[in-house]
Chain A
């Protein structure tokens, strides 16, 4: 027995020893697949520098970035001066922004040509297929900040659980990579891509209070990663244009998951469903005859799976739409009352998104407006066809518009008593007001949360 234990001990040191010699070399090699990306977000009155890390996916120098650092309301034209840094280097290379993929949420940038040769895309390595083993050791890369010239560091952890969220996701016992950077097996296989980290619950003690629960989210490192099987098929999804068009759209809103209790009550064992809250008028789902209160049970004959937590089923449904293309037909099995019916929805290209909306900033007046979009009619619970106006996108602090009480998100219905019928004429009208130095005031009728209000804007 004693001997056996000793043998085991020797064996494990031998393995560690072997890994220890390989891992630094692997680490150095794999650094060629990661980069830090800096860019500027140009707002109405200021510029903000943003910094994020990403993974190289092909020989064209394409890099994917996680969705977090770019707000959905930011237009591609506001994203400027993309720069790429290699680990351990302060040398900046140029890059262009390619757009965002709706399904994965990834932003894509492409490095300038002279840098491409220094990269090795993650597709070049062997991939770890299937689920990792429980307890399997994985490692990944983190990058320090710019002052430290993006010094790379290694993290390693053991896989603790593999789940469908709804994508196949592994969670390790501790942090193992920066969100957006790859995770590898000890043999150097590509195992997946680190996700934004999950919140962790802590108790906070202070002198005055005994303890208070708080949640901490690590924005630099994460213990969760999307498995290679989920990542690799999506690497083809390089946007064809900066807006990521086309985007498949079904037009159902407010999807709610079904609790297991409810499924049991409706005698739907081992499957799930989504309750439809809102069908936009004129949308593909509306045209196909889907109604509020319908419960979607299956897509193209495949029952919706039971996922934990239940609420992620809404995300699953959304992904099923986004995986497809406008023009594709989707067969939905729907429970309506006690009846099961099948509804065929032909997907369309999604109406204009906020980031695509035309917008204009009026410095004299102190606010920016954008087009009223289809989504705004959903938000304001009005019929899309009947609705016009402008949405206030930004209000400059201490400006005439701010003093008048205008707020971002306000829906402007009338300018100087004139109803807004078209974006272009309304913008021309505002531009005219801004240019007219003799103007003392103008009046807006705005709608906010269903209530309207007449605002008088006094000009300096």
Chain B
């Protein structure tokens, strides 16, 4: 029995050796990097620094590195990359996109030139991954540099939306994921999922904790487009109309629909372009600008949402709808898609961390407008805590000034630092207004 196991083990090793021996795979190994990040967080009323480790893959001669948005975000203050030859170089963030959980970094080429270092880029696979395909995950799980694990593509069209998945930001609404049984552990994030020839088919990004071999990667097709846009523009702008889709699965009969058509509109964000144009929950979306849509199953929803998201902001989109027996066509003008998570800052002398109330947050929480700062942390013994401010409160006005922007509060803070004087503060807690005094 023991012997059989041993042989089986040997056979697997033989397969791995074969792949690892391929020139392409060796080149790929040269392109995989370890990423050490120091980032700032604004929790608990102070700036706090923390360190993390992830993986990445070099994609071009000019030093573009692709990783996960949850590995390197705009909160990163120091990014250090360990190349395959164990040399460390610094890098900067070019852009990030939490919706696809991808971030693009650029290596410090001057430093590389000066120190005479070399690296080689990886290549994306030409074909999309298919179920059953043998794949390898390469990365730095738990800090174990250049770990290779092997598995297959378990599913190449997995729906995995998470409204707080990337450091509290939304993710997965516009793409589906590759699912693999190649072992993916913390630290694998941002590393590539590759073919036997070393071609990148996905970027490893997450796994179910406590489950066995349920890992998820962003498909290379999505990654390729995101890298292009982030490299060129530093960010990705998407369109938003404010509909929340639902699956039609089993409801076709109720809505008297032909098979394979339509996407249910489960909810319409109040005040959104769709709401203003008269869309209603329970409407069935049949077409977008004449293109028929089919949203019966969860994995069909991201591509449909992506059609709308990919439109230029401010463009008019014609939606074909079914409402009861009625067929409608409604035109909606798109606006810029915003995250629920606004800009964050810590005002340390007040012991107060805040996040700008975003339009999306205001809609989600039925606020009258998007003015104000959400309290995300206070430090006890400091003015904010003494004024009984607490996490979840929304500071609407300070010193008679409505907080439309974070800069308004920054200016008030600077004036306070120069000359500490009590400030009348208007706070909203669960839609209830109260007053407090920020004072030294």
Contacts and interface: CB of A to CB of B under 8 A. Distances in A.
Interface of A: 254, 256-259, 261-262, 265-266, 275-278, 292-293, 295, 381, 413-414, 416-417, 441, 443, 445, 450-454, 456
Q: Which 4 A-B pairs have the closest CB atoms?
A: A256-B434, A254-B432, A452-B281, A261-B437
B254 interface: yes
B436 interface: yes
A384 to B, nearest CB: 16
Given A277-B431, A450-B364, A450-B366, A265 B422 contact: yes
Contacts of B264: 454
A262 B435 contact: yes
A184 to B, nearest CB: 40
Contacts of A451: 244, 266-267
Contacts of B433: 254, 256, 275-277, 292-293
A265 B270 contact: no
B126 interface: no
Counting chain B CB atoms within 10 Å of each CB, the highest count among A256, A259, A454 belongs to A454
A414 B428 CA distance: 32
B431 A259 contact: no
Contact of B424 (A257, A265, A381, A450): A265
Contacts of A259: 387-388, 435-437
Interface in B221-277: 244, 246, 250-251, 254, 264, 266-268, 270
A262 B281 contact: no
B432 A261 contact: no
Contacts of B439: 261
Nearest to A337: B400
Given A259-B388, A259-B437, A265-B422, A277 B254 contact: no
A264 B117 CA distance: 67
A121 B304 CA distance: 73
A194 B236 CA distance: 65
B143 interface: no
A454 B266 contact: yes
B267 A381 contact: no
A254 B431 contact: yes
Given A259-B437, A454-B264, A454-B282, A443 B432 contact: no
B251 A414 contact: no
Contact of A381 (B266, B324, B366): B366
Contact of B431 (A278, A445, A454): A278
Interface string B374-399: 00000000000001100000000000
A381 B251 contact: no
Given A277-B431, A417-B282, A454 B422 contact: no
Interface string B309-328: 00000000000000010000
Contacts, number: 82
B432 A256 contact: yes
A258 B435 contact: yes
Contacts of A256: 432-435
Nearest to B438: A261
30 contacts: A254-B433, A256-B432, A256-B433, A256-B435, A259-B387, A259-B435, A259-B437, A261-B422, A261-B439, A265-B422, A265-B437, A275-B434, A276-B433, A277-B434, A381-B366, A381-B431, A413-B281, A414-B282, A417-B254, A443-B251, A443-B254, A450-B364, A450-B365, A450-B366, A451-B266, A453-B246, A453-B281, A454-B282, A456-B250, A456-B251
Contacts of A257: 434
Nearest to A379: B431
Contact of B267 (A266, A276, A417, A452): A452
Interface string B6-33: 0000000000000000000000000000
Contacts of B270: 450
Given A277-B433, A450-B364, A454-B251, 11 more contacts: A254-B432, A256-B433, A258-B435, A259-B437, A262-B437, A277-B431, A417-B282, A445-B281, A450-B365, A454-B281, A454-B282
Contacts of A441: 254
A254 B424 CA distance: 20
Nearest to A294: B433
Nearest to B255: A417
Interface string B195-218: 000000000000000000000000
A402 B270 CA distance: 27
Contacts of B428: 277
Nearest to A378: B431
Contacts of A295: 435
A303 B42 CA distance: 42
Contacts of B366: 381, 450
A265 B421 CA distance: 11
A347 B270 CA distance: 33
Contacts of B432: 254, 256, 277-278
Contacts of A453: 246, 266-267, 281
A161 B75 CA distance: 54
A295 B435 CA distance: 10
Contacts of A452: 266-268, 281-282
A278 B428 CA distance: 11
Among A259, A295, A413, A451, max chain B CB count under 10 A is at A451
A275 B431 contact: no
Interface centre among A381, A413, A452 (most CB of B within 10 A): A452
Contacts of B251: 443, 454, 456
Contacts of A277: 428, 431-434
Nearest to A448: B267
Nearest to A273: B435
Contacts of B434: 256-258, 275, 277
A278 B437 CA distance: 22
Contacts of B436: 259, 261-262
A275 B434 CA distance: 6
Nearest to B435: A262
B322 to A, nearest CB: 10
B243 to A, nearest CB: 11
Interface in B77-104: none
Contacts of B246: 453-454
Contacts of B435: 256, 258-259, 262, 275, 295
Interface in B416-436: 422, 424, 426, 428, 431-436
Contact of A417 (B250, B324, B363, B424): B324
Contacts of B254: 416-417, 441, 443, 456
